[in-house]
Amino acid sequence: MSVKNQVQLITYVDRLSGGDLSMLGELLQQELKDLFSGVHLLPFYHPIDGEDADFDPIDHTQVDGRLGNWQDVRRIGERFDIMADLIVNHMSAKSPQFQDVLANGQASPYWSLFLTRDKVFAAHDEALINKIYRPRPTPCFTDIQLKDGQTVPFWTTFTSNQIDIDVHSDAGQAYLDGILRTFADNNIDLIRLDAAGYAIKKAGTRCFMQEETFEFIATLSERAKQLGMQCLVEIHSHYQTQVDIAKRCDLVYDFALPPLVLHSLFSHDFTALGKWLAIAPHNCISVLDTHDGIGIIDADPDGDKAGLLTPAQIDQLVETIHSNSAHQSRQATGAAASNVDLYQVNCTYYDALGQDDLAYLIARAIQFFSPGIPQVYYAGLLAIPNDMDLLSRSNVGRDINRPYLDREKVRAALQKPVVKALCQLIELRNRLTCFNGEFSAVAEGGCLTLSWQSATSSAKLHIDATNRLSASIAVTEDGDTQEIILADWLGV
């Protein structure tokens, strides 16, 4: 099956609904009625309050009881395309399987499920280990003591509580297949392969996005397809990696788009964005914001490979985000807060643009007119500012963009002019059939034109940043043309 080419929502179940899956289902059909064709339910497994907001699941196949059960998931799936996360690379150290390993060592039936340093490296070879690509400043191995007193260096790509899986082992393959079958039985349409780029480890390589990784993703995607689902590959890397992997999988993220849109609006120059749109994969999910930070590495150079932006442009981009957010993003990024990635800036997209309503609406228009199925993060939908209170309480950098909202806060946010305008833009994107047609892009310095054409309709977004930032959309249906000035939707 294939998911609909309309706007989808990204959300935590409890942080948007103020409650559980049933309450989220009501919200989608009431306050947010007719806005979304699908929803990415961020991890809802047992437990949702782990170390990494449920990206360290104890049990992928168990819905956290505080949110509901699989029947509640299936009920949402009757009306919406559902995307769920398959955390490919690791699982919680608190899982029953790893606890059995701690108790029984190599006698455990789950010993082969987990990856240790010694399964990859014949000896403690620092030269080979130093080649490993690190997404975080922490070591890639954690020495963990078993019940018998033996200390074992387990592979922990992200945190010491997230134990890497040996996906080549029979136990690892059975584990992943069990999750796929559970998803297929419960109305999941699209699987987000989280951290898939790190799944294959091989001595002498970067242990990230090598040829065997492509093969692993292709095999996993084929199994999902046999069960009636599609796979979205989640990889932050040099842009060429996205181009290459898009040829070999169902869907990839357009992670280059968020930094390029910011750069374009900051510099009033669409040249870099235009070059990307000329080569960008069309079988993609487009985002500006997600539950993570704003990715930078996707536009960055990689060694001797040029990036979509130069190092100087990257530095200017990051510093402008910090300035626009009154340096709140600086407090949430890098060494300033725990559990952060080296390649992301933690900030809401709304604050990254200095809470400029017109610039924010134009950024969304670029996203919706770029190739791919658009997804909008719940905090971005409602133009929620940085949650500095939550950040101060948790000291987790990405919590700056992971607010807890109850129903009343959602209703209040929906009344803001920028949110009302964004909802109009979503409805337009969902309605027009031309977004299944032919795409073209023209970028000339401070001007950008994105166009879609089908047999029955066309739509053209034109942005002019040469003087005062402005944008308009021309829509033609059945021979009638309507021009929309985005500033008019904001009442300015």
Mean of the pLDDT values across residues 318-331? Answer: 95
Of 4, 19, 152, nearest to 83 by C-alpha is: 4
The crossing angle, in degrees rounded to 10, of helices 211-226 and 239-246 is 40
Question: How far is CA 179 from each of CA 41, 186, 223, 240, 379, rounded to the nearest angstrom?
Answer: 15, 11, 11, 30, 29
Which residue ranges form the domains of the chain, and what is each CATH number?
8-88+168-435 (3.20.20.80), 96-164 (3.90.400.10), 438-490 (2.20.220)
DSSP for residue 248: T
**What pLDDT, on the 0 to 100 scale, is given for residue 417?**
98
Q: Is 194 a catalytic residue?
A: yes
Q: What does pTM read for this prediction?
A: 0.95
Identified catalytic residue from 51, 166, 194, 387: 194
Q: Is 59 a catalytic residue?
A: no
pLDDT in tens, 138-184: 889 999 999 999 999 999 999 899 999 999 999 999 999 999 999 99
pLDDT in tens, 338-392: 544 557 899 999 999 999 999 999 999 999 999 999 999 999 999 999 999 999 9
**What pLDDT, on the 0 to 100 scale, is given for residue 339?**
40
**What pLDDT, on the 0 to 100 scale, is given for residue 151?**
97
Confidence of residue 337 (pLDDT cuts 50, 70, 90): low
What is the token pair recorded at 273?
């964005």
Query: CB of 236 within 8 A of CB of 196?
Result: no
| In the block, residue with structure tokens 């690791």 | 90
Identified catalytic residue from 234, 269, 289, 298: 234
